[in-house]
């Protein structure tokens, strides 16, 4: 077990840009990302002892590691407006969503509470480094990295998520019980989503450096065994078809604004006298059908740009600050020669073929080839360095810089 006084913070490495997909990884218990995806992803749970070998190695050398974020530092995040925080107390169950006041946060030695901090990749570099380990899973699926800290006995209760999640034990021990039970009904009398009938089938105590992968809908309950227990969860979202189709259709509807011919009004010089005046005119139906076919509204190619834009939207509470003293385009180019341009940690970038979408908007439509290439690099590598940009002035890249969506590394 880690000791508070002797331990030092674990410094997670950044994964290489091109992950070796076929090679065995300690992170997955000695199987490769290819094998992990084929055997476990979205299918069955996997417990990995020593997923981060550094913890056990350092302990053997008498230099135990602790979480990259010490308790004291972590608790400060809960007080910040821009961090999505929730406080859950068990016995009796209660729930409080942030921002929290200093007084509201129980002290470390008190039992039966846990604090959940969402979207930590935006607030601490160690969290965003850990996300880089999982970049063999499409960016569109990634939700965020949540850090939980708990007093002894703390947890959110037995529940299930609709998410794939990697639960990494970072400090202290946590007992996990899981069940692939069919009955996922919830207790209606509680302020939290807690299963009515949790029947654990497997049980493990996770030590720092261990990891548990859970696909959606596996019932689970994690209870902190040590004060200051930290679990870092890398969560992957999967939108419903309703959400995808609705969002795609909204955007498709909006894109009709750009077709002036659609301003033309319906005309019915062929309409005859009718006894069924209450019916929608046949002529209107016929002409609409032709229009729908012409516009190819049911074809996937027309649909995907809107979906990609939607999935590239940042989290609701994301805040981007314009740079204090923005560099002029010439200065920007000079700076790019010596430092890397990175997406702001709350920025989302996704690609659809050659097109790039950032924070809900297309960045590449109508842009010069050098700007297009720069965006493609930012999207694929999540960084841009050097590169000759001839058309920076008034480009979407420079605009994104002025909006604080992309930032220079300090």
Indicate the SS3 state at residue 341.
strand
Number of residues that bind ligand SIN (CB under 6 A): 9
> Parallel, antiparallel, or unpaired for β 65-66 and 8-9?
parallel
Going by C-beta distance under 8 Å and a sequence separation of 6 or more, which residues neighbour residue 133?
12, 15, 27
The binder of ligand SIN chosen from 222, 248, 305, 343 (CB under 6 A): 222
Can you tell me which of 231, 347, 359, 376 binds ligand SIN, judged by CB under 6 A? 231
Smallest separation (angstroms) from Co ion to the CB of 233: 7
Is residue 233 a contact residue for ligand SIN (CB under 6 A)? yes
What's CA 360's distance to the chain center, in Å?
14
Contact assessment for residue 54 and residue 65, using Cβ atoms and an 8 Å cutoff: yes
Q: Is 226 in the site for Co ion (CB under 5 A)?
A: no
Per-residue binder mask for ligand SIN (CB under 6 A), 88-127, x = binder: --------------------------x-------------
**In the complex, what is the shortest distance from the CB of residue 162 to ligand SIN, in angstroms, rounded to a whole number?**
11
| Spatial distance between the Cα atoms of 294 and 288, rounded to a whole number of angstroms | 10
Applying CB under 5 A, among 96, 139, 143, 161 the residue interacting with Co ion is 161
Q: Which is nearer to ligand SIN, 224 or 374 (CB)?
A: 224
Other beta carbons within 10 angstroms of residue 363's beta carbon come to 27
Asked if residue 212 lies in contact with residue 46, where contact means CB atoms within 8 angstroms, the answer is: yes
Q: How far is CA 222 from CA 29, 54, 153, 159, 203, in A?
A: 21, 23, 9, 10, 10
- Judged by beta carbon distances under 5 to 8 A according to partner kind, the member of Co ion, ligand SIN, none in contact with residue 209 is none
With CB under 6 A as the contact rule, the residue among 86, 124, 220, 348 that binds ligand SIN is: 220
Binding positions for Co ion, 13-72, rule CB under 5 A = none
First to last CA, the chain: 36
Lay out the site mask for ligand SIN across 292-331 (x = CB under 6 A, - = otherwise): ----------------------------------------
Positions in 139-198 near ligand SIN (CB under 6 A):
148, 155-156, 161
Stretch that binds Co ion, among 37-45, 81-89, 153-161, 362-370 (CB under 5 A): 153-161
**DSSP H helical ranges for 296-395:** 300-311, 329-338, 369-381
Q: If binding means CB under 5 A, how many residues of this protein chain bind Co ion? A: 1
- The DSSP symbol for 283 reads H
**Which pair of structure tokens corresponds to residue 307?**
């979906």
Residues that bind ligand SIN (CB under 6 A): 114, 148, 155-156, 161, 220, 222, 231, 233
């Amino acid at each position: 077990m880690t000791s508070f006084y002797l331990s030092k913070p674990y410094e997670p490495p950044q994964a290489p840009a091109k992950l070796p997909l076929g090679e065995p990884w300690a992170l997955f218990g000695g199987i490769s990302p290819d094998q992990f995806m084929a055997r476990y992803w979205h299918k069955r749970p996997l417990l990995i002892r020593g997923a981060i070998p550094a913890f056990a190695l350092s302990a053997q050398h008498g230099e135990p590691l602790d979480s990259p974020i010490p308790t004291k530092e972590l608790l400060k995040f809960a007080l910040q407006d821009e961090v999505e925080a929730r406080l859950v107390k068990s016995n009796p169950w209660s729930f409080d969503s942030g921002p929290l006041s200093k007084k509201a946060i129980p002290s470390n030695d008190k039992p039966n509470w846990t604090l959940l901090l969402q979207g930590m990749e935006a607030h601490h570099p160690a969290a965003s480094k850990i996300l880089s380990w999982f970049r063999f899973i499409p960016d569109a699926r990634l939700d965020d990295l949540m850090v939980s800290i708990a007093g002894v006995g703390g947890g959110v209760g037995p529940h299930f998520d609709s998410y794939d999640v990697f639960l990494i034990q970072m400090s202290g021990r946590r007992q996990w019980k899981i069940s692939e039970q069919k009955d996922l009904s919830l207790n209606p009398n509680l302020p939290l989503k807690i299963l009515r009938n949790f029947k654990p089938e497997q049980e493990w105590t996770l030590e720092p450096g261990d990891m548990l992968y859970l696909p959606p809908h596996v019932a689970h309950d994690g209870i902190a065994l040590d004060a200051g227990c930290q679990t870092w969860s890398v969560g992957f979202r999967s939108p419903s078809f309703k959400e995808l189709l609705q969002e795609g259709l909204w955007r498709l509807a909006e894109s009709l604004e750009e077709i002036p011919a659609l301003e033309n009004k319906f005309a019915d010089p062929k309409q005859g006298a009718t006894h069924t005046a209450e019916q929608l005119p046949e002529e209107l139906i016929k002409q609409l059908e032709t229009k729908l076919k012409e516009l190819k509204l049911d074809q996937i190619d027309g649909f995907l740009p809107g979906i990609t834009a939607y999935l590239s939207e940042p989290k609701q509470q994301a805040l981007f600050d314009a740079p204090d003293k923005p560099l002029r385009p010439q200065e920007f180019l000079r700076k790019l020669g010596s430092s890397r341009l990175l997406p702001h940690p709350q920025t989302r970038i996704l690609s659809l073929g050659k097109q790039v979408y950032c924070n809900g908007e297309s960045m590449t439509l109508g842009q010069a080839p050098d700007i297009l290439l720069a965006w493609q690099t930012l999207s694929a590598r999540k960084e841009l360095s050097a590169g000759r940009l001839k058309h920076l002035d008034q480009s979407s890249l420079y605009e994104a810089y002025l909006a604080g969506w992309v930032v220079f590394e300090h």
